[in-house]
Amino acid sequence: MIEVEWQNLKAQDLRRLADENAVVILPVASIEQHGPHLPTMTDTRLGHEVAIRAARKASDTRPVVVTPVVWSGLSEHHMPFGGTLTISHATFRALIKDLIVSITRHGFRDILISNSHGGNIIAMHQICDELAPVVDATLVATTYPAEAAEELRGILEDQDGMQHACEAETAMMMALEGDLVDSSDLAALASKAVDGPSFLRAGKASYRWRPFTHLTGNGVAGNPARATAYKGERLIEVSADALAAMITDPDTWAAPEDLRADGAGGVAFRPDP
């Protein structure tokens, strides 16, 4: 099996991959409460697995390497339930920026920031906005449950997409780390599934921060009783397939177009006299 994990490769292997124009996947996640039945590393474990599988699937078309997971994410909204480690927005942005700059200094030019925690999404997009104009690389930010939303929806029974400690995440953890899942009374943990981050909305299209206690009393959003290891394996596979398809699509990494007329840089747009 092809080795795709950065930390398992030697420096000369990574120099060769940079010369071969490999894509780098930088997984970002969290350590946070996932209800009474799942370990706090759920997002980190799932994000890592999806990234590794996607890299191996895509490597037949283009070389891909996956860095270690950045487990320290933005999880202030989960703090009231305990067990959560969170960092500030400033720290998160500085950390991801420094890692991206480090990767580009080695010659890698296409970087996929692959996220597995909803609380990171806004900051992740901001990081791309800040860095893309100033680094010599194409930066793409994805959150795998969103990229694979249609495929996930076709497998799930009680919800339209990924929630939290739910049918999906519980099933995926059953497939990967079954010994860490407390399945003794999953039906008692079911909470109302929501339409994505709807509990953060105000008005018709406005944002309002709320802790996760605003949504659930036990840290669960969704119905983990619907979870099975078989379903979890299917969910992991379609998530990896979705990322692999994006990685191998040349349009993902195409240079931005410049539609200005010849010689327009720094000169007002006007026809020749």
Tens-place pLDDT, residues 122-158:
999 999 999 999 999 999 999 999 999 999 999 999 8
Q: Token digits for 17?
A: 């991959």
Three-class DSSP category at 182: coil
Amino acid (1-letter code) at residue 152:
L
Residue 146 inside a domain? The answer is yes
The string of pLDDT tens digits covering residues 157-177 is 988 899 999 999 999 999 999
Residue 70 inside a domain? The answer is yes
Residue 268 inside a domain? The answer is no
Q: What are the residue ranges in the chain where pLDDT is below 50? A: none
Residue 107 inside a domain? The answer is yes
Q: What is the pLDDT of residue 257?
A: 86
Amino acid (1-letter code) at residue 114:
S
Q: What is the pLDDT of residue 203?
A: 92
Residue 92 inside a domain? The answer is yes
In this structure, what CATH number is given to the domain that contains residue 227?
3.40.50.10310
Q: Token digits for 110?
A: 């296409």
Residue 258 inside a domain? The answer is no
Three-class DSSP category at 5: strand
| Alpha carbon distance, N-terminus to C-terminus of the chain | 65
Q: Token digits for 168?
A: 């999906």
Residue 87, C-beta contacts closer than 8 angstroms, at least 6 positions apart: 72, 73, 74, 95
Residue 271 inside a domain? The answer is no
Residue 80 inside a domain? The answer is yes
Q: What is the pLDDT of residue 1?
A: 83
Q: What count of residues does the chain have?
A: 273
User: 38 forms bridges with which residues in the sheet?
Assistant: 34
The residue segments making up the domain with residue 109 are 6-251
